[in-house]
Amino acid sequence: MVFIRVTISGVSKDYRTVWMKGNSVFMINQPMIPHKFEVVEFECYRDTARAISEMVVRGAGAIGAAGGYALAQAALEAPDDGFLEFVREAEQVINGTRPTAQDLFYATHRVMESVCEVEDVNGARKAAVDEAQRIADENVHAGEMIGKYGVDLIRDKMRVLTHCNAGWLAFVDWGSAIAPVYAAKRCGRNVFVYVDETRPRCQGARLTAWELCNEGVNHAVIADNASGYYMRKGNVDIVIVGADRVACNGDVANKVGTYEKAVLAHENGIPFYVAAPVSTFDLSCRSGDDIPIEERCEDEVLSMFGWSSELSRMVNVRVAPEGSHALNPAFDVTPAKYIKGIITDAGIVKADKKAIGKLF
């Protein structure tokens, strides 16, 4: 296991990104990182769903696990009379939180199936909780396997570029794109990571950099529009990113800006890999054109959220003129032709329909 190891007041403790205990779901409060570490508790499914929507938890695998737990909470909350209707309504609420994230629908579908397979209400409640926990545990294993399959891509002294956060905090543990980096580091290889800041929410600068600091991996945060500069200079050996949904033809939806990195890598002869578990594949999507792209609040672009040393708290600062508006797609689609391979928990596959079909 890797685990998120956090040291507070000289005491180290290992955490998962999201977990369930009793009727409550617990999460690391990601918007507060790296300036403050705290765990938040959500006692009902609607609050957990709101936390997914507001990105208290984010990242493909972590969203999926949180969604599974939220539906398990709904099963625990549901009255005996009208039990199934209550849970089905909750499923719709949870599924509406992040429309691009395939792992979310994968998790809620599995929990819903487990509920429907048991006739008595108490048995259905237990089945929901058990299935949600199983999904979370599988996500940990998937991240570990992605690391094992991807580690051979990273040689000693290699320079890796990544975009957004696809590490510990994006999964229940281990992560996807950063899992091979962690595995390489633990094999004794010297690895350097270029960390795209990833506007507008800066998940690279805030989350990936924080993770790499904890793991002792050499890295530098760079502006999103600086990656082409380092690629053209020959300073990047490989690009590895995560994914929020993979279509059956190998097209991939990931954090907005990923497409640009793929085109730049192609232009400069740099291998571009996507890391994603099989749970992120959506065989109902024929191509990336079928993937719904989430549009988020314009305030994320018009403002910056960060730590004020003067006030000793997190603050929101507007950076655009009053009266200006913004467009804020959360994801873009990278065509399969730019992807050298997809690192999955079942091995590295080509980004094409035939290879992906063999996974299933």
Asked whether the predicted pLDDT for residue 4 surpasses 80, the reply is no
Which residue type, as a one-letter code, is found at position 308? S
pLDDT over threshold 90, residue 277: yes
pLDDT of residue 243 exceeding 80? yes
How many Å apart are CA 346 and CA 359, to the nearest integer? Answer: 7
Distance CA(177)–CA(110), nearest Å, equals: 25
Q: Which residues of the chain form CATH 1.20.120.420?
A: 4-144
Q: Can you tell me the mean pLDDT for 88-114?
A: 98
From the list 244, 251, 332, 345, the catalytic residue is 244
Architecture of domain 4-144: Up-down Bundle (1.20)
What pLDDT band is residue 8 in, cutting at 50, 70 and 90? low
Active site residue 244: yes
* CATH fourth-level superfamily of 154-359: Translation initiation factor eif-2b; domain 2 (3.40.50.10470)
Of 82-86, 256-260, 312-316, 323-327, minimum mean pLDDT range: 312-316
pLDDT at residue 1 is higher than 50: no
Q: Supply the pLDDT for residue 14.
A: 84
pLDDT above 70 coverage of the chain, percent: 97
Could you give the residue range(s) of every CATH 3.40.50.10470 domain in the chain? 154-359
Is the per-residue pLDDT at 238 higher than 50?
A: yes
- Asked if 209 and 131 touch (Cβ cutoff 8 Å), the reply is no
pLDDT of residue 3 exceeding 60:
no
Identify the DSSP state of 100. Answer: T
| Spatial distance between the Cα atoms of 106 and 86, rounded to a whole number of angstroms | 19
